[in-house]
A = this chain, B = another copy of it.
Amino acid sequence: MSKKNKIIVVGAGLCGSLLAVRLAQRGFEVCLYEKLPDMRKTDLGAGRSINLALSNRGLMALDRVGLKEDILDQCIPMLGRIIHPIKGDTFLSRYSGREEDYINSVSRPGLNIELLNLAEANDNISVRFNCKCLGVELETATATFQDKSTGETFSEKGDIVIGTDGAGSAVRRSLMAKTAELLFDFSQSFLRTGYKELSILPDDNDNWRIHKEALHIWPRGHHMVIALPNLDGSFTLTMFHPYEGEAGFNTLNTKAKVTAFFEKYYPDLIPHCPHFADEYFENPTGILGTIKCYPWQAYGKVLIMGDAAHAIVPFYGQGMNAAFEDVRVLDDVMNEHGDDWEKVFTNFQDLRAENANAIADLAIDNFYEMQDRVDDEDFIKKRKIEMKLEIEYPDYFSKYSLVTFRPDLDYKKAMKLGREQDALLLKICTQPEFANITLEEIHQKMIALKQSMLAGAYP
């Protein structure tokens, strides 16, 4: 490295904190700025994504900074989805046929605090909270902030600026302000469905009221509720409902209507969260959007990563994992190009942008699958075959497993192979000519598919 570069990281959320730690471990001087107050000293308020699903891509990145085992100790494994149909018994649909493949429910603030603690313990990092980024002068890597506690505005010049400031990124806005120069492609699109968080409290013995080691789903066609377990015995529920229509957040605008709706559609939930109608009106309704853009860098001086570059809907449980994977891939690229930032940034964006687009599209697909198809007969049949394949043949990975448990394979390859596998399985499940096909015959077809699609890229 030519000299000890100074790097300004804008945003100390999950991605920014991890990035700051890794860059500091590499010997850079890191100035980490965060708009919000220090979450270790202030309650930032409930009602917004309290827990998240951490899986292999995220864990691989946490391993880079030496935090994987610590974090796993604070997670609850979720071995599969427990489906709560409107009629009939609940049933478990495992995420994989392999024992070792599961996802992990983790507290968002808990994880963020671990990362902030690690950052502050590193002499190469200075962290400053309450500083809102107002914009970045791209050519000179100069970021301007307003200190919200004093009102004072100040600028800081780095060798580079990296924006990890989330879906509403101020750094991205500075790229967009140079649309003509950068030919800055940008899109934002929103589901006509929003979300609202509720909760299931622990029982009298501080235990989990429903099965602990699973992600629960109440699929209802055009709306659903999901639940993820927390360490304290509670669950965080998330309602995903359209804005309009019978199930619409705008329609369910009185306690009586909300209660009647739950009695009709989520009756088995009510005993577990008697306070649902209060929480419904206390907690905000969030929007669900996808953001794509390109380029992610300007002049070898400024880069955006994580949600700032590629915000996605939460239905594949990959938002945080994709952001953490950004940090891991940037780290890989720096192994090759050191602090030649122009090369690092352009290589990084060209490696990551099409993968970010892939997971964005997969997450939209899963929105429809989760709310509408997980209790569908053909879908259940297909999942059963996939499960048998995964149990019998360790080399077979379903689309879900490719995306979730195979960080060695990028999102785009996982998507392409996974979609072809799904199409083949759907044919097998629905066409009479395959009525007597054996598992081994299916496996052979899958091997052929894999070889034709990925050739050497896939072991």
Contacts and interface: CB of A to CB of B under 8 A. Distances in A.
A186 B183 contact: no
Nearest to A181: B287
B180 A184 contact: no
Interface in A141-178: none
Interface string A26-61: 000000000000000000000000000000000000
A432 to B, nearest CB: 29
A287 to B, nearest CB: 5
B179 A184 contact: no
A436 interface: no
As for how many copies of this chain the complex holds, the number is 2
Contact of A180 (B183, B186, B287): B287
Contact of A190 (B184, B190, B287): B184
A2 interface: no
Contact of A184 (B183, B184, B185, B188): B188
Nearest to A168: B179
A187 B184 CA distance: 10
A438 interface: no
Interface residues of A, number: 13
B179 A185 contact: no
Interface in A265-287: 287
A192 interface: yes
Given A183-B190, A183-B287, A185-B189, 18 more contacts: A179-B188, A179-B190, A179-B287, A180-B287, A183-B192, A183-B243, A184-B188, A184-B190, A185-B187, A185-B188, A185-B190, A186-B186, A186-B187, A186-B188, A186-B189, A187-B187, A187-B188, A187-B189
Nearest to A287: B180
Interface in A186-205: 186-190, 192
Contacts of A188: 179, 184-187
Contacts of A180: 287
A166 B192 CA distance: 27
18 contacts: A179-B188, A179-B190, A180-B287, A183-B190, A183-B192, A183-B243, A183-B287, A184-B188, A184-B190, A185-B187, A185-B188, A185-B189, A185-B190, A186-B186, A186-B189, A187-B187, A187-B188, A187-B189
Contacts of A185: 187-190
Contacts of A184: 188, 190
A390 B443 CA distance: 54
Interface in A239-253: 243
Nearest to A243: B183
A188 B187 CA distance: 6
A192 B184 CA distance: 11
A183 B290 CA distance: 11
Nearest to A183: B190
Interface in A330-369: none
Among A180, A183, A192, A243, chain B packs the most CB atoms within 10 A around the CB of A183
Among A188, A243, A287, chain B packs the most CB atoms within 10 A around the CB of A188
Nearest to A185: B189
A418 B214 CA distance: 51
A187 B190 CA distance: 12
Among A186, A190, A192, chain B packs the most CB atoms within 10 A around the CB of A190
A243 B188 CA distance: 26
A185 B287 CA distance: 12
